Structures are given as C-alpha cells and as structure tokens.
Amino acid sequence: MALIRCDFFSEVLGLSTSMTVILPQATRAQIGMTGAAPAGPPPVLYLLHGLTDDATIWMRRTSIERYVADLGLAVVMPQVDRSFYVDERYGNRYGSFLTEELPELVGHFFRVSSRREDTFVAGLSMGGYGAMRWALTRPTRFAAAASLSGVLDLASQQGEDHRDDLYPRIFGDEPIAGGEFDLLALLHRAGAHDVHLPDLYVCCGTDDALFAGNETFRDEAARAGVPLTYDTGAGAHDWAYWDAKIRDVLAWLPVRAHDVKNQ
C-alpha cells in the first residue's frame, strides 16, 4: 500500500486543507503483509472522521491500511473540522467541498475509478451522519454507504448540545426536523420518490449514547421502504468498537473481486 498525506488548496473553502489517502499496491515480498491491486483504476472508499478528529485519525486508531490491503481498494480520508460535512450556516462550505470539489480533486490527483459501482462512503459518529447524508442527497455517486455509531437522528440532538453553540453555528436556529439536514426526512423523500439509493449499512453499540437515534433511523428506514442492513450488539462510542466494525463494513462493501492481482 502507498500512504499519502495530501495538502492542497480548496477553492470552495478558500483555504489549504488536507486528506490522507491509501492507494493499493500489489506486493509479495513485503514481510507480514501482501497487497493487491486491480488491473485498472481501483475502487475508492471515502472514509469520514468524527467531530473531534481529523484526516489522520483512521490511520492512527485503526489498522485500516492492513484491512484494505487485499481488497485493492483506495481510501480517501478528508478533513472537515467540526462541520458535520454540511455548508455551515455561520462558517464554511464543507458540504460543497465534500460533495463537489473533493471527488473532482481526487480524480485529478490520483488514478481511481469514478464509476458508481466502484465508489463507497463510510464514517463514524459525525462522519456517519456525513456518509448517510452524502448518500441520500447524491445517491447516483455511490454503490454503498455505511455509518458507524452515527449521529443519525440529528433533530433529537438539537437544543441539547451546548458545546460552543455548535448546532446553531452549523445548522442555524431553525428546527432541524423535516429540513435539509434531517436524515429521517431524507429517507422518506427518497422512499416517496422511489430513488435508487446505494446499499445502506448502519451499526451502533448498545452502550452508545447514540444508540436510540440509530434505532430510530432503522425504524424510519423501514417505514419509508428503504432497505437497510442494520447491525448492533455490545459496544460503546470508542475506537475498540470502530476498529472492529470497520472490518465488518469492508466485508459488506460490494467491492468487485475480479481483476485484482497480488503481483
């Protein structure tokens, strides 16, 4: 595998930012690990960080590089600060950066597939929200999307999170329920319009403070007629859970097995 820290300028944000990128490499002689790579441009997973983290966190807290080595899968881990991956009401345009500029830059900088069937998104906590919202608002981009311990019932959090007025700064003072930031509303809109959504996967530990919101998301997906793979069990809002569950996500992703070589 090749590990790249990419520092670049974002025209959308008007500032320099970063992403961490893993690129597949076919290897045999590396002691302790072999790697695989497809004959053509590799599939790509956009892997999103949580509220207090950055573009390096998945590399520092999990063995994501080792987990994807045999899949021939590229992984792009962007940095969006504390934005919830949306265009902030009183801040920067992180939603536009993520959904419009970032994929274009990734395609320009790296040789990765741009095909829907080869493109996936996943994230934890705030990043779980970002992954689901990206998939629900740009469904033709992805084959699959996954949330690990995501903030999936955002409206229930409004008014309860007082950290530096985080929610008002990002989402404004209007009610979240039913609006553009409400994943539950987006589920029902997709179901009502028979949108061809990506495959969706949600997991959350039963000891997590966000567990009830994940249960609500599961129930609303069923009511909306949106298929969903839902996985739960013992676990807290921590890296022990996410390091284990990202392996389940990778096993679930419909990564095409053909045309992958180890030499």
Q: What is the pLDDT of residues 36-94, one digit of tens each?
A: 999 899 999 999 999 999 999 999 999 999 999 999 999 999 999 999 999 999 999 99
Percent of the chain with pLDDT over 70: 95
The whole-angstrom separation of Cα 151 and Cα 128 is 7
Asked if residue 214 has pLDDT above 50, the reply is yes
* Phi/psi of residue 248, nearest 5 degrees: -65, -40
**Is residue 146 within 8 Å of residue 180, measured between CB atoms?**
no
Give the confidence band of 30 by pLDDT, cuts at 50, 70, 90: confident
Give the confidence band of 247 by pLDDT, cuts at 50, 70, 90: very high
Q: What is the pLDDT of residue 20?
A: 98
Asked if residue 211 has pLDDT above 50, the reply is yes
Q: What domains can be seen in the chain, in order of their start residue? A: 2-24+34-252 (3.40.50.1820)
- State the virtual CA torsion across 139, 141, 147, 152 in degrees, nearest 10: -40
Give the confidence band of 260 by pLDDT, cuts at 50, 70, 90: low
Q: Helix or strand or coil: residue 203?
A: strand
The whole-angstrom separation of Cα 182 and Cα 205 is 22
Q: What is the mean pLDDT of residues 16-21?
A: 98
* Residue whose C-alpha is closest to residue 188's, from 220, 147, 218: 220
Asked if residue 101 has pLDDT above 60, the reply is yes
